[in-house]
Structure 1
Amino acid sequence: MDHHHDPVTGSSTVDVLALLLRLALLLSTAFLAGGGLLRPLVTEPPKRPQLVLSVLGGVSAVLAVVSAFAADVTVAALAVHVVLAVAVPVLLRWPRIGRWASVALLVLVVLETSLGGTGVEFALDSVFVAAAAVWFGFALYGPAVPETAALRPGPWALTLGGLLVVAGAVRFGLSGAGFDRRLYTTVFGFVVVAVVVLPVAVSVLAALRQGRAYRLGAAGVAAGFLAWSALGALPAPPPLPVPGVPLLADGPGFPVLVSPQRPGPNLVHFPASAGGGISAGVRGGPVTEAVARPGAEGTWAAVDLPPGRSDLEIRRGGTTTVVEVDAGHAPGPAIADADAPECASAALGGLIAGRADVLTACPSDTLTPEDAGALVKLVEFLAGRKPSAITLVEDTSPRGVAAAKLVRETAARTGLAVRPDAGPDTALVVVSGWAAGYPAMTRAAGLQRREPTHQYGLYLAPWLLNGPIVNAVASVSLPLRFDPREATAVGYAVAVGDRFGGESPTPGGFRTWLGGDHAAGDVQIFAAAQVNAMPMDPTEPHAVGMVMDRDYAGQWVPDGTIVPITSVLR
């Protein structure tokens, strides 16, 4: 069974019946308010408009009551709407008093149309709704308005049409849809176009047939009003995929990350909270199961993307969700399979920060000066503790090779031996990537359970501060230039968890999330451990406001803690 967007609203999250009810309520109420507003212009009103307004008053009141069962509406707001809807036709005999009831009802329509919008959006809603309501009033009473009236239908048709055009144009600019295929491939795009085109057509009609424009254009204004009201409930389509920019999309109830979105091998990443049994593949091509990767959270599916646009199908059980991708035609960066998850995680940080940067390099491509300095200080710190040797774990990535060379040179300068084998009086230093760092930690944990091993500690390079790696052992230390407990680091951790299904933060993602406008701090050794500082059962009495769940938002070490164990290393 295919799981596609709702054919009416463009989103399965929008209740179609509730939307239709809301549109009918707003249109009938706007027509009612406009008729009551212009009633004082006519001294002897025809009976037909009076009957129409009486029917609209009843319809508006009934729809308001029905909508209370389909939406979260307060009793006070419902009562005000019903009273005003009934009052407008009742007060037609006293038009000056009824005008104020119509103004109040018109304000209520604006508030209901804006759906909590503020600033420019609320101002646009006010202009569009008021202009449409006045037009509806002229459609009812236009022929009966005397030529000597202050508000003559002919000239006002041009004025109101112009206001609708301006409001529609500004609304189009704020929609974010742009001049691209989303205008004709999504329901939201069709509605945005209608908001602009219909007022233009009505304005042209007003210019050609000024005397009858209010009657002939009423249908166009009504359709435009419905489109305008629908925009508040329709979700805006996601931005179009940009070749070379990793894609962060929403799947069937969980987020999806596609990296690097270039022709050839790509990784499709799902958070751990999405669960298992997920597979992905290009429509018409092979489907790959999403599996765990060493040192990385969640699951990952390897998918080959063809050049240009294609549909990525995400399957679980009998449900299939389609995500549009665009790999372009230019070749992407050469990414080693072992380093691809870390590279994708780093790109995710930039996407969460709102940047759409083309992925041209990965953290494993180079050893940054900041990380190099941290490793030098780490080796010098270990030299002061005087282990018999350093057990070094490296890999073949450019960063791993450079880091291993730097560690050996610094160890030789400080009189430390470096060897690949473990020993009871050694310190383990891991400078590889995630794929080699995770098994190195699991091996060390196994050795330490059997016999005294690496008694001078387990140490990771800064880029290995990642939940699965640090939690592979009881305790591990890292030289860091930032405090994972301070506000900025916690803010990033919360952001990535909120946007990507509870995903844990990573140093690479933190760096791209910050962008290039940050200065590296001093180096301190931090210890990460799977401990609970206050081991209390959640059912035990505790202080008000005390968080008893260890897995709270903003943690860098899932189900654990990280604290500094040295002062700044000089």
Structure 2
Amino acid sequence: MDHGSHPVTGSAGLDLAALIVRLVLLPATAFVAGIGLLRPQVETLPRRLGQVTAALGALSAVLAVVSAAAFDVNVVGAVVHALLVLAVPVLTTRRPPAGRWAAIGLLVLLILETALGRSGVEFAVDTVYVAGTAVWFGLAALALARVRTPRLGPLSWTLGGGLALAAAVQLVLSGVAFDRRVYETLFGVALLAALVLPIAATAARRFAVIGVAAAFLAWSAVVALPKPAELPVPGVPLLADAGGAPVLVSPQRPGVNLVHLSAPGSVRAGDGTSVEAVPRPGASGYWAEVELPAGRSELVVGDRVVEVDTGTSAGVPTAAGPDGPECATTALGGLVAGRKDVLTSCPADELSEEDADALRKLVGFLADRKTQSITVVDDTTPRGTAAGRVVREAAAADRIAVRPEGAALVVVSGWARAAAALDGAAAAQREQPAYPFGLYVAPWLLTGPLVNSVASSTVPLRFDPRERAAVSYAVALDNAFPGEAATVTGFRQWLGPEQPAAPRVQLFASAQVNAMPMLPGQPHAPGMDSPGAGPGFFVPQGTVVPVSFPLG
């Protein structure tokens, strides 16, 4: 029975009542199973030991029923547990062989209850620990009752060593064995206790029952205790959980850091002044700039504390400021993929050759359409400056004039400048026939908050946003940071360095589309959700489709 699994995240949550029930139920059940397993090895069972076994069996049965009524526990499993734990004391007195079989069934059920949700090596480790504890309970109880048991000493050392080895394996698998979480968190302390106490109980046989009981209590608590969050690594943007809400800290270096929230809230560094997180142009969610000191410190998000470690090295200047959100969400793509890459640069720091080639081909496409003039929007970042130069040189080569009011708008700036430019274009198009040859954006500008600000825009890409990899990225991103908009640079980071060779450039149109128009405020019919609704869409509430053949 699982007494503490969080229904949303699946991670163990610290429900005190469920934890107390678990810490009484499982050891009592293990004691009863151990006595049932070893009863056929002795001629008679002392009356007092039989009474203790029966009392613990009754207690375990009651707690199993309580678990089914009060917690999210399988009713059938609870009933079977209660029947078996009541049957073992009765059968061990009257028919010891039958009692052993009932004890075996109870032990199997106990292993399943203790190891619920685990598989592979962790399940094997749980099996060893639970079975070893039950047998040791039986041996120690019989020894205290002065019942002759064969080879108690060697068996005790074997069982103690087996339990310690199982705990050591679990400690390594948990990931906390070699850092401070092993002694700074209840989870780590419980695992340490499960490792040390069996050895201590073996050495002090007179107190073996107490030692084994304490070790099994610690082992039972491990599954119910929340697993500690990974320690922050200086220079690696931090994706943390603040009471069920995601928090992104970038670049996690001394100085100004961006803190990204999925909902409105306040942020402060330690005892500093609270800063309200606000929307940023072109980005989804809410953002706050917070000054973090060097080394380990605490970031308070609402009423939750998030540990950060900025180290001592200098940060990345463009990780904050206007281009900070793009930099942070790019790093988020790698974090979602499970990589912990140190942030050394941001997308706005340089123009890649692939993007430069895509922009040249975009200008070539406009020339083929007989576009006479374009308006270019760039900025002063290294990428924006280089992109503006590439577009202007390509336009000059194709005899396209660059004017303040051109026939087409080409935006190659960062998110903040692009948001203003696209908002202005949308306003101009509502008033008069502006940009008759369309609106075009650089590849890194394909993200929902930007392209959804206009009715339609075109972008040169080397991937199809509808392909499996792009959809998988969008789903994984939404799972890790609900409501976060997919980005091209985040997708590249999610794919990682071992990416396949990019295919040829193709133009895609992003548009807000409603295939089944309804009256204002009228909901869609069942099964007729609007395009872009739900997980897996690169641009929410819209569609992205190819509008050209691959460009030569």
3-state DSSP of counterpart to 2:273: coil
TM-score (ref. length: structure 1) = 0.91
Task: Please name the residue that 2:317 is paired with.
Answer: 334
Letter in 1 for 2:89: P
The equivalent residue for 2:413 is: 432
Question: Secondary structure, in 3 states, of the residue corresponding to 2:317?
Answer: coil
Distance 2:160 2:75 in 1: 36
Q: Could you tell me which residue of structure 2 aligns to residue 367 of structure 1?
A: 351
| Percent identity (aligned) | 57
Q: CA deviation at 1:146?
A: 6.9
What is the alpha-carbon distance in structure 1 between the residues aligned to residue 25 and residue 343 of structure 2?
48
Structure 1 residue 263 and structure 2 residue 254: aligned? Answer: yes
Partner in structure 2 of residue 303 of structure 1: 290
Name which of structure 1's ranges 71-80 and 485-494 shifts more when overlaid on structure 2: 71-80
Aligned partner of 2:550 in structure 1 is 568
Q: 1:504 pairs with 449, 471, 485, which one?
A: 485
Partner of 2:494: 513
Aligned-pair distance for 1:252?
3.0
Superposed displacement of residue 198, structure 1: 1.1
Indicate conservation of the 8 Å contact 1:177/1:236, yes or no: no
Shift of 1:331: 0.6
Question: Are the structure 2 counterparts of residues 283 and 193 from structure 1 closer, same or farther at C-alpha, using a change threshold of 3 Å?
Answer: same
Q: Indicate the residue corresponding to 1:290 in structure 2.
A: 277
Change (3 A) 1:139 1:203: closer
Structure 2 residue identity aligned to 1:22: R
| TM-align CA RMSD | 1.7
Shift of 1:548: 5.1
Matches within 5 A, 1:108-147: 108-142=109-143
Q: 1:153 — aligned with what?
A: 152
For normalisation by structure 2, the TM-score amounts to 0.94
How far apart are 1:41 and its partner, in Å?
1.3
2:391 aligns with one of 393, 407, 418: 407
CA offset at residue 145 of structure 1?
A: 7.4
Please give the alpha-carbon distance, in whole angstroms, between the structure 2 residues aligned to 1:344 and 1:444. 27
Give the aligned partner of residue 102 of structure 2: 101
Structure 2 residue matching 1:444: 3-state secondary structure? helix
Aligned residue for 1:232, secondary structure, equals: helix
1:15 match: 15
Residues 168 and 199 in structure 1, CA contact (< 8 A), matched pair in contact too: no
Q: Is the 8 A contact 2:187 2:228 kept in 1?
A: yes
Query: Conserved in 1, the CA contact under 8 Å of 2:12 and 2:224?
Result: no
- Paired AA for residue 384 in structure 2: G
1:4 matched residue in structure 2? none
Give 1:556 deviation, angstroms: 1.4
CA shift digits 1:269-310 (9 cap, x unpaired): 012xx2x2x111111222211111111111100001111111
Contact 1:39 1:141 in 2 (8 A): no
Pairing 1:357–2:341 present: yes
CA deviation after TM superposition for structure 1 residue 549, in Å: 6.8
On the 8 A contact 1:313/1:323 being kept in 2, the answer is yes
**Corresponding position: 1:557 with 2:548:** no
Closer, same or farther: CA 246–551 of 1 in aligned 2, 3 Å: same
1:40 counterpart residue number: 40
When residues 26 and 339 of structure 1 are mapped into structure 2, their CA distance, relative to the original with a 3 A threshold, is same
Does the residue aligned with 2:291 lie in a helix, a strand or coil?
Answer: strand
Q: What is the letter of the counterpart of residue 31 of structure 2?
A: F
Task: Find the aligned partners of 2:131 and 2:432 in 1 and give their Cα distance.
Answer: 81
Residues 532-559 of structure 1, C-alpha deviations (whole Å, 9 max, x = no match): 23446655365xxx65574210111121
Q: For 1:335-374, what per-residue CA distance to the aligned partner results, in whole angstroms no more than 9, with x for missing partners?
A: 1611111000101001111111110000011111111111
Matches within 5 A, 1:133-532: 133-142=134-143, 151-205=150-204, 213=205, 215-271=206-262, 274=263, 276=264, 278-315=265-302, 320-335=303-318, 337-419=321-403, 421-423=404-406, 426-518=407-499, 519-532=501-514
Structure 1, residues 508-565: CA drift from partner, whole Å, max 9, x if none? 11111111111212111100011123446655365xxx65574210111121111011
Partner of 1:304: helix, strand, or coil? strand
| 8 Å Cα contact 1:538/1:548 also seen in 2 | no
Tell me the secondary structure at the aligned position of residue 390 of structure 1: strand
Q: Structure 1 CA distance, aligned partners of 2:36 and 2:225?
A: 30
Partner amino acid for 1:561? T
